[in-house]
Amino acid sequence: MKALVLQEDRGLSLVERPRPVCAAPDDVIVRIAQAGICGTDRGVLLGKFQAEAGVVMGHEAVGEVVETGAGVTTLKQGDRVIINPTLYCGLCHWCRRGALNFCLNKTGNEIGIDRDGAFAGFMRLEERFLHVVPEGMTDDQAVLAEPIACVLNNLEAAAVRPDDEVAVLGGGPIGTLVALVADHFGASVRVVETDPYRRATAQQFLATVPGCTARVEEPGAIAARSASLVVDSVGSLTAEAWELAANLGRIVVMGFNDRATWTVRPLELLQRGLRVIGAGDYNSQVFDRAVDLARRLPLSGLISHHVPIDRFTEALAAIGAAGNDHDEYTGMKVVIDLRAAA
């Protein structure tokens, strides 16, 4: 099968790999239909996050079951499935408490980071990490279920309400989905995005959603201390979020950025009654709800590019992860079509 593998120099290479086989009774082999490129994938390729050289990247995916282990009872050949890449052991301290997303044995076993992922013709995964695609759900909706799970996890942690004035920092795919879902829950939403392409594309997408009133703005358009909820979808804009949050407001640190730092005066935190929220990864219960929500949202318009695996360099260029123009976006959500990779 064809696969996109991370090289020592942080580049991706298209290689031939053996098709995976069931190695345990609960294993399932999935033929991948399409997989989305995540901001984390981009970060790995730009050297911002660590991943193991030689790993097949990718963790947002939908496909079809082609083989099942002897112990599999909930899936059968031909089922369309969505991959839940947040793995857990089910046995450690946190798993036994129901906090599967804080599994102590997840490190060293992360899909697309140090365990082979979804940028390939086939993928092996345990039964419990696969969700059947609901009837009527398109592949484009299904491939965005995982990003929706990230969004839902953070908005639920912040207890978003219909009376919230929400400011979303960052208008990439995740920030735009935050705006869409918060609007779906009845909040008033404004997005701040610096990149002109993404600002225009996010506004165009949100404008096509029936009943959606979310707006996309340039930096500086939102008044200080006016938002009851601020979501930093970038992970490095917490200081800006602090300035936008109203008294008694909530700040959600959602984006991944292990280099970002932030200095805060504890007294101001106390006096203004602010809450800073880190939700962690989603758990499997959130993922179930995300699949159902994704089924009901018009998501396909967020995908700007469907790129066959043989032309993967075009996908990297669209997200600013190829050549020297690392910060120049020409795409919003980019999806790799893997149907020809089997």
**CATH number of the structural domain spanning residue 113:** 3.90.180.10
Tokens found for residue 261 = 């730092």
For residue 214, the domain's CATH number is: 3.40.50.720
CA 106/CA 52 separation, integer angstroms: 15
By residue count, the chain amounts to 342
Q: Both 14 and 48 in a single domain?
A: yes
Tokens found for residue 250 = 């909530």
| Cα-based distances in Å from 177 to 103, 145, 197, 226, 342 | 26, 11, 16, 21, 31
Q: Tens of pLDDT along 318-339?
A: 999 876 555 688 999 999 999 9
Tell me if 79 is assigned to some domain.
Answer: yes
Q: Tens of pLDDT along 171-185?
A: 999 999 999 999 999
CA 277/CA 73 separation, integer angstroms: 38
Q: Tens of pLDDT along 252-293?
A: 999 988 888 999 999 999 999 999 999 999 999 999 999 999
Total domains in the fold of the chain: 2
Q: Both 188 and 245 in a single domain?
A: yes
Tokens found for residue 288 = 């179930």
Tell me if 99 is assigned to some domain.
Answer: yes
Tell me if 30 is assigned to some domain.
Answer: yes
Report the pLDDT value the prediction gives residue 270, as an integer from 0 to 100.
96
Tell me: pLDDT of 142 over 70. yes
Q: Which of 242, 261, 277 is the last residue of a domain?
A: 277
Q: Both 139 and 16 in a single domain?
A: yes
Closest among 17, 194, 224, 37 to 122, alpha carbons compared:
17
Q: Both 218 and 94 in a single domain?
A: no
Q: 10 Å Cβ neighbour count for 244?
A: 23
Tokens found for residue 98 = 């129901």
Placement of tokens 């899936």 in the chain: 75
Report the pLDDT value the prediction gives residue 327, as an integer from 0 to 100.
63
Q: Which of 237, 260, 277 is the last residue of a domain?
A: 277
For 116-145, what is the mean pLDDT? 98
For 101-130, what is the mean pLDDT? 95
Q: Give the rounded percent of residues in the chain with a pLDDT score beyond 70.
A: 99
Tokens found for residue 16 = 């031939």
226 with 244: CB under 8 angstroms? yes
CA 80/CA 62 separation, integer angstroms: 7
Domain of 299 in residue numbering reads as 2-144+282-341
Single-letter amino acid code for the residue at 70: A
DSSP state of 19: P
Q: Tens of pLDDT along 61-87?
A: 999 999 999 999 999 999 999 999 999
